[in-house]
Amino acid sequence: MTVSADTVRLAMVRETGSPPAPPATPSMLVARMTSESLAFASTTTTSNELDPSGNIRDSILTGGASTGDVAFEVSDNAWFEEMLAGVFGNDWAADVLVPDTNLYLYLIEKMFPDVPVPGEDSYHSFRDSAFVSATITITPGSPITGTATVNGGLLTLGTAPIAGALYPDPGTEPILVPSDAVVTVGGIASTACFGAITLTFDNGTRGIQCIGTLGEKEKVRGRFNATISGQLYYATDDIVEALLDQTEMAVTVTLKDAADSNIYEFEYPRCKVTAAPVVAGGTGTDVVIDFGIQALYDATATYTAQVTRAAAVTLREGGSSEPPAPRAARVPETT
């Protein structure tokens, strides 16, 4: 029976202990996703054995790794916040998330209903998976979207979930849209028109392969890297001057709904412009600057980037916010 992607469920839980393992009777975080590509990619080699028949004698499985992306529309939900915690390598504290050096591993599970027959389900599980990076894209005329990249463990197949596993509904908080977003780039006029903004976070996690293990034996976390890129309609040379002068500036991007009830504020206290080309692309086009900004570690703030979640904040002039009001209790970050 053909399976529709509309019926597939992707869920995860953070592993605990040493060696890391899924908790007993876990409360799984179900992803609000638009697509996924997490799969086991095998490394196979054809035998070089000489054969009088002139044919290939064997195909050898020599390695493999599970990788892929989870695409989503940004909304207030527990899976999104735990994914950010995995990329940042830290837990949320008082509704604030800053980078740390922890490597969080997850059991990521895909459920395909009615396989192999109606009434039975197939479970594809990826143990010891890590979130390597996350990208959030803001483009006028579309929902705010994101992509999380996974470095997964080996694939195992099953016909049932972990005993006692629960799958709470991820909720129906509104999808956030660009018309409610606020972008503030220090040194750039507050009236600037941004055609697109992309926030990228990467922790450099990589797998280590060892003799005696098929695929990766362990994972190692690298350094945290945060960048901002986008398109700015050309009206002043402010961002070009910031590039030439290597001016340090702060950047704030606030994602929220129209009622200011679901808010994620991304703050970068110390940044430098890395690219700011001003070009005329041709007739019937507008002059734009496809800029790049590198976030840098701020010794005073002690972080490169910070995310603040809030049930309600009061936006100040320029887009930054007052301290957030406490938000309602959510699904714990660890189970």
Which segments of 224-312 does DSSP mark as H helices, in order?
238-245
Res 333: pLDDT: 42
Segments in the chain below pLDDT 70: 190, 311-335
Res 311: pLDDT: 55
The answer to the question of residue 142 being in a domain is yes
Q: Answer yes or no: are the C-beta atoms of 95 and 213 closer than 8 Å.
A: no
Res 186: pLDDT: 87
Report pLDDT digits (tens) over 166-211: 999 999 999 999 999 999 998 787 678 999 999 999 999 998 878 8
Res 188: pLDDT: 83
The answer to the question of residue 51 being in a domain is no
The answer to the question of residue 100 being in a domain is yes
The answer to the question of residue 333 being in a domain is no
The answer to the question of residue 315 being in a domain is no
332 SS3 class: coil
Task: Say what the pTM is.
Answer: 0.89
What is the domain count for the chain? 1
Instruction: Give the domain range for residue 97.
Output: 5-44+59-310
Per-residue 3-state assignment (H helix, E strand, C coil) for the chain = CCCCHHHCEEEEEECECCCCECCCCCECEECCCCEECCEEEEEEEECCCCCCCCCCCCEEEEEEEEEEEEEEECCCCHHHHHHHHHHHCCCCECCEECCCCCCCCEEEEEEEECCCCCCCEEEEEEEEEEEEEEEEEECCCCCCEEEEEEEECCEEEECCCCCCCECCCCCCCCCCCHHHCEEEECCCCCCCCEEEEEEEEECCCEEEECCCCCCEEEEECCCCEEEEEEEEECCCCHHHHHHHHCCCEEEEEEEECCCCCCEEEEEEEEEEEEECCEECCCCCCCCEEEEEEEECCECCCCECCEEEEECCCCECCCCCECCCCCCCCCCCCCC
The answer to the question of residue 327 being in a domain is no
- What is the distance between the alpha carbons of residues 167 and 129, in angstroms, rounded to a whole number? 19
